[in-house]
Amino acid sequence: MKELLPLFGIVTVLNTPFKDDGSIDIESLEKHVDYAIEAGVSGILYPAMDSEVNYLTEYEKIEGIKAVMATNQNKVKVIGGCYGKQRADRLKMAEKLIDLGVDGILINLPYNNMESFISELKEIDKINPSFLMVQDWDDRGYGIPLDVIENAFNEIESFRVLKIEVVGSCLKYTDVINRTKGLLNVSGGWAVMHLIEALDRGVHCFIPTALHEIYVKIYELYRTGNRESAKDLFYRLLPVINFSNQSLDISIIFFKRATNI
């Protein structure tokens, strides 16, 4: 039987810094890694949607991950983002991420039906990733059906984390935790504006962008029994989140300015 993957706390998504010519700024990315680790994050996810992954070339994705890994030096877990338009592209990227030695892989794939969805996850599972984090992203609906999540968790050994970012995320946190008997690690990303409720519902880790120190402090306060203090600090932060989360584009621009990258 699977055990709960011990991935807790704040796992940050890094924005990608670019040079004036549009190429990735590796030196600034390395500084961002150092800053996040010093702030107390438990993990780093790169590249992902907030990293503007669709604007990165394959070479830039790999060089970015290499820079993150080299700067991190095994201090925190590094999860490599696996994105691609076609199934073959995603498999190829997953293979490269495994070769680079990432601690886990975030897989973002379209959901069309249970058969094709689980089939692709099984294909990636065969190349032996340490663990798979499946991105459940749907800004207009409830995302991947619960039956599919439950079946995939039962059938695919490496599927250990679900990153939920859907309409009604808080309800889905509870639904997924109940369906998988608390053994599937459930994380929250875009729905971080419901952070305190998510903690109340038993969500294991959170994957926001930037503001590392504040998120780490909120999480630590809550986990040490200081829920009211955590809530007070979160409410002070909430106007910022409400502004930044108007859209993904606004979030990226805002947090790049906030972190000066």
DSSP state of 193: G
This prediction has a pTM of 0.95
| Cα→Cα distances 135→25, 158, 218, Å | 26, 14, 24
Strands (E), the chain: 9-13, 43-46, 77-82, 104-107, 132-138, 159-166, 185-188, 205-206
Tell me which CATH code domain 9-258 carries.
3.20.20.70
Tokens of 195: 């952070």
Q: Give the pLDDT of residue 191.
A: 75
Local structure of 12: helix, strand or coil: strand
Asked if 206 and 7 touch (Cβ cutoff 8 Å), the reply is no
Instruction: Give the count of beta carbons closer than 10 Å to the beta carbon of residue 118.
Output: 17
Candidates 71, 198, 87, 191; CA nearest to 136 is 191
Q: How would you classify the pairing of strands 159-166 and 132-138?
A: parallel
Question: Around 6, how many Cα atoms within 13 Å sit in the side-chain half-sphere?
Answer: 1
Question: What type of residue sits at position 239?
Answer: P
Q: Where are the domains of the chain?
A: 9-258
The structure tokens 């704040």 sit at 10
What's the sign of the alpha-carbon dihedral 233, 236, 238, 241?
negative
CA–CA distance, 203 with 218 (Å, rounded to integer) = 14
Q: Per-residue confidence of the chain (261 residues) as pLDDT tens digits?
A: 799 999 999 999 999 999 999 999 999 999 999 999 999 999 999 999 999 999 999 999 999 999 999 999 999 999 999 999 999 999 999 999 999 999 999 999 999 999 999 999 999 999 999 999 999 999 899 999 999 999 999 999 999 999 999 999 999 999 999 999 999 999 998 778 899 999 999 999 999 999 999 999 999 999 999 999 999 999 999 999 999 989 999 999 999 988 876
pLDDT at 193: 87
CA–CA gap between residue 207 and residue 198 (Å, rounded): 12
pLDDT score recorded for residue 189? 86
Q: Please give the pLDDT value at position 261.
A: 63
